[in-house]
Every structure is written in C-alpha cells, then in structure tokens.
Amino acid sequence: MIASLAKAVGQLTDPKFRRVLLLGLAGTLFLYVILYLGVGWGLGQLQLLGINWADKLIDLLGGIAVVAVTLIMFPAIATLVLSVLLDDVAAAVEAKYYPDLPPPRRQGVGEVVWGALRFVGVTVLANMIALPIYVLLLIVGVGVGLYYLLNGYLLAREYFEMVAWRRMDLAEADTLRRAHLGRLWLMGIAITFLSTIPVVNLLAPLIGTAAMVHEVEALRRRIPA
C-alpha cells in the first residue's frame, strides 16, 4: 500500500494529472461552497422542526457543526466531481507503469455517472445516520476512528470498483475485492485521511485513483505492490 501511494504521489507532476486537477478544482470548490451553505440551511431547518438531537447538536456546536458536517461529506463530493475525469488519471498510470495492458473495457458516461451518484448517496446517508454517533463517541475520543473506518470502507470500495471495472467484469472484480478486503480497506482509510487535510484533500481523488490502479494490478498479477 505504501509503495502504491508513493508511486501515485510521484506522478502528480504528470501533465494529465494537472489537467484533471485544474478542472476538478473548479468544480469541487464550487460544490464545496454550495454544500457548506446547504448544510447550514439544512441544520437550521431541522432545528425549526424540533428534532431533539439536531437541536442539541446545533446548540452545542453552533457554526462548528456546519463545518464538521461539511468536512464529513467532502470525500463524497470530491469523488463525485472528479469521477468523470479520473479515467484519464487511471489511463496515465497504466501508460507509464503497465504499457503491456490492452485497451480497457469501454464504459458509457451513464455508467460512470450512475456509479458516482450511487456512491455519494450511500456515503451521505451512512454519514448522516452515523452523525449522532460521531458526536457521542467524540466525547470519549473514538468518534474520529469511526469516521475513518466507515469512510475508509466506502472509499476503498468506490475507488476499487472504478479502477477494477476498467479491466474486469463486475463478478470477477467483486470476488477479488472480497478476497483482499483488509488490504483495500487500509487503502481506503489512507485516502480518507488525505481527504481531511486542507489543500491535500483536493489532491486526494487523484492520489487515490493512481494508488488504486497499482493495488488492483498488484492483486490481479498476484505480486506485492
């Protein structure tokens, strides 16, 4: 995993990476502002509805709650914005490190967009359900751990499928993922951690995609990454 991440970081200067980053940066920052404003409005509406846990959360944390919820949702938003562009990142990694690979399986735009929307929906729902638990466990110091575990699993699955489906059918990819769940989960936790670091989080989808290409090829070829 460390070797895969190192290779991914080392390729950040690739012109194809820069193009994806610039396009994704504009979209991500725009949606991030919209998300921040939307979360603030949404929490305000929950308070007006008299939902007990939401009222207490807003009273306790105020504006911090808005920032916290926005950060929790950031991995999903960044992945959504960049998902339609990350195929270029995967192709650049394959061209540099795996030139022997045949052309990837063709995927329609609809398939890519649907996969990203499905992932975002699951991530948002899971994190919103877990939000009261995050707050409760934060008091005893383990809420952050739950966040990394949950989003690590979700991001590991999303990035793995995004990369693996370029080369494998769905059933074959699912079998490979289940066989190496622990290793991929650790990679997902690492991507989640990068997604929580200011500025670095804008690079996290590129690093995550590139690193996952190395992981998938290592598992497919049964060699250490």
Per-residue burial over 55-87, b if 16 or more Cβ lie within 10 Å, else e, is: eebbeeeeeebbebbbbbbbbbbbbbbbbbbbb
Comparing CA positions, the residue from 219, 118, 213 lying closest to residue 160 is 213
- Mean pLDDT computed over every residue of the chain: 77
Q: What is the pLDDT of residues 130-155, one digit of tens each?
A: 667 666 666 666 667 777 888 888 88
Q: What pTM value is reported for the model?
A: 0.70
Distance between CA atoms of 123 and 224, rounded to whole angstroms? 30
Distance (Å) of CA 53 to CA 18, 46, 72, 151: 43, 9, 18, 22
Q: Residue 224 gets which letter from DSSP?
A: -
Distance between CA atoms of 12 and 25, rounded to whole angstroms? 14
With cut-offs at 50, 70 and 90, classify the pLDDT of residue 27: confident
Q: Which amino acid is at 27?
A: G
**Most confidently modeled of 1-10, 31-40, 110-119, 140-149?**
1-10
Q: What six digits make up the tokens of 32?
A: 């991030």
pLDDT higher than 70, residue 44:
no
